[in-house]
């Protein structure tokens, strides 16, 4: 597998950032009310941000495929959907672990942000199932699902403003203390770089799959001609 | 198909467990239980959260590498078939 210099630079920065972040997080001051468990925040928010980003990238690729017939858009959408499910799972696991200590329970169904995030995860899981088992026409159906899923993202983000919830408000990042900002932004940037690395790796896999399919067709044509 | 059956069984299993929990009803609370309920150690939760994220990422990268390797092997096999036939 040939790797471009840009890919290697981004990969190095992501690995370096992810190796540094835990040290800064350990050294960061403890939050007064929640104590140690608040440290989940430093990874929980970046993975949530990437879940939303993945949903938007998938929707963008799906829109390009639906309206412009872009095969590359379709490949980007599939790669991003996998990452949305991966990072979404991380959000849905780390959030309840934090909530157990902070709220006294792993899950509260009445919390709109939790419920809409779970719905988002199921939509993108449905996208992947549709792609794998949907048969002919599944790619277009899945693309429509992705657009539907991305529409859920603003609802998740703004839900804490519109409904009564125990989740922190959207302004929580701007209220972080000075010792907390560094580790948070380092983790956010490192995870974002990692997202691009994973997206590129997954796109390469999809490109290889297309090449394999073309080769299979060429071999079959050639054998028929013989 | 196997994966879908597995997910279906998982969901059915979860539903059965919930129904069983309902039948058991409430338990009277005593001081000992409260202490047990509230003594979830934060370090374990934090380690669980960070461990899960890194574990999930490593697993994902491993599946991508495996899938890529399998495709490359398939392509090598196809190329061998072409070369063999053209000789």
pLDDT band at B35 (very low <50, low <70, confident <90, very high): very low
Does residue B34 form part of some domain?
Answer: no
The answer to whether the beta carbons of residues A124 and A88 sit under 8 Å apart is yes
The answer to whether the beta carbons of residues A206 and A214 sit under 8 Å apart is no
Q: What residues of chain B lie within 8 A of the CB of A201, using their CB? A: 61, 64, 68
pLDDT band at B79 (very low <50, low <70, confident <90, very high): confident
> Cα dihedral sign for B50, B56, B57, B59?
positive
Distance separating alpha carbons of residues B46 and A44, to the nearest angstrom = 11
* Mean pLDDT confidence for B18-40: 53
Contact (CB<8Å) B74/A212:
yes
Does residue B30 form part of some domain?
Answer: no
pLDDT single digits (tens) B1-10: 566 666 666 6
Contact (CB<8Å) B82/A222:
yes
- Which parts of chain A are beta strand (E)? none
Distance separating alpha carbons of residues B13 and B30, to the nearest angstrom = 31
DSSP code, position A168: P
Does residue A161 form part of some domain?
Answer: yes
> Cα dihedral sign for A126, A131, A132, A133?
positive
For testing the chain A interface, which of B46, B63, B70, B74 should be mutated: the one with the most A CBs within 10 Å? Answer: B46
Complex-level ipTM: 0.89
Distance separating alpha carbons of residues A84 and A53, to the nearest angstrom = 8
For testing the chain B interface, which of A51, A200, A212 should be mutated: the one with the most B CBs within 10 Å? Answer: A212
pLDDT value at residue A43 = 94
pLDDT value at residue A164 = 78
Distance separating alpha carbons of residues A87 and A78, to the nearest angstrom = 14
- For chains A and B, count residue pairs whose Cβ atoms are closer than 8 Å: 82
Does residue A71 form part of some domain?
Answer: yes
A30 backbone φψ class: left, alpha, beta (φ>0; ψ -120 to 50) = beta
Does residue B31 form part of some domain?
Answer: no
Domain membership of residue B57 as a residue range: 2-25+40-86
Total structural domains in chain A?
A: 1
Whether the pLDDT of residue A177 is over 50: the answer is yes
Does residue B33 form part of some domain?
Answer: no
Contact (CB<8Å) B68/A205:
yes
Residues 6+ apart with CB under 8 A from A130: A138, A141, A142, A145
pLDDT band at B16 (very low <50, low <70, confident <90, very high): low
Q: Which of A172, A175, A180, A173 has the alpha carbon at shortest distance from A29?
A: A180
Total structural domains in chain B?
A: 1
Q: Which of A101, A95, A10 has the alpha carbon at shortest distance from A48?
A: A95
pLDDT value at residue B7 = 61
Contact (CB<8Å) A47/B49:
no
Domain membership of residue A98 as a residue range: 17-26+36-225
Q: What residues of chain A lie within 8 A of the CB of B72, using their CB? A: 208
The answer to whether the beta carbons of residues A58 and A142 sit under 8 Å apart is no
pLDDT band at B42 (very low <50, low <70, confident <90, very high): confident
pLDDT value at residue B34 = 47
pLDDT value at residue B15 = 53
pLDDT single digits (tens) A49-79: 999 999 999 999 999 999 999 999 999 999 9
Distance separating alpha carbons of residues A187 and A121, to the nearest angstrom = 22
Nearest CA in chain A to B37: A104
pLDDT band at A114 (very low <50, low <70, confident <90, very high): very high
């Amino acid at each position: 597998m040939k790797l471009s210099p840009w890919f290697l630079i981004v990969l190095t920065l992501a690995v370096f950032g992810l190796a540094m972040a835990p040290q800064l997080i350990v050294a960061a001051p403890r939050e007064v009310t929640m104590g140690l468990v608040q440290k989940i925040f430093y990874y929980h928010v970046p993975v949530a941000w990437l879940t939303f980003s993945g949903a938007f990238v998938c929707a963008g690729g799906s829109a390009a495929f639906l309206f412009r017939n872009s095969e590359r858009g379709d490949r980007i959408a599939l790669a991003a959907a996998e990452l949305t499910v991966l990072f979404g799972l991380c959000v849905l696991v780390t959030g309840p672990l934090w909530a157990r200590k902070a709220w006294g329970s792993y899950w509260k169904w009445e919390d709109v942000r939790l419920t809409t995030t779970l719905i988002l995860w199921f939509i993108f899981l449905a996208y992947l199932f549709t792609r794998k088992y949907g048969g002919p026409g599944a790619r277009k159906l899945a693309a429509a699902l992705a657009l539907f899923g991305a529409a859920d993202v603003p609802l998740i983000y703004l839900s804490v403003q519109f409904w009564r919830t125990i989740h922190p408000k959207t302004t929580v990042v701007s209220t972080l203390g000075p010792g907390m900002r560094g580790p948070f932004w380092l983790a956010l940037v490192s995870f974002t770089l990692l997202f691009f690395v994973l997206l590129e790796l997954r796109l390469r896999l999809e490109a290889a799959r297309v090449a394999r399919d073309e080769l299979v067709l060429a071999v079959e044509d050639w054998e028929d001609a013989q | 198909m196997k994966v879908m059956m597995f997910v279906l069984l998982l969901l059915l299993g979860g539903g059965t467990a919930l129904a069983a929990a309902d039948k058991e009803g409430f338990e009277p609370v005593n001081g000992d239980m409260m202490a047990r309920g509230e003594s979830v150690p934060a370090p374990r939760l934090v380690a669980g959260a960070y461990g899960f994220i890194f574990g999930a990422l490593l697993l994902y990268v491993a599946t991508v590498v495996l899938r890529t390797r399998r495709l490359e092997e398939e392509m090598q096999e196809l190329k061998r078939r072409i070369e063999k036939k053209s000789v």
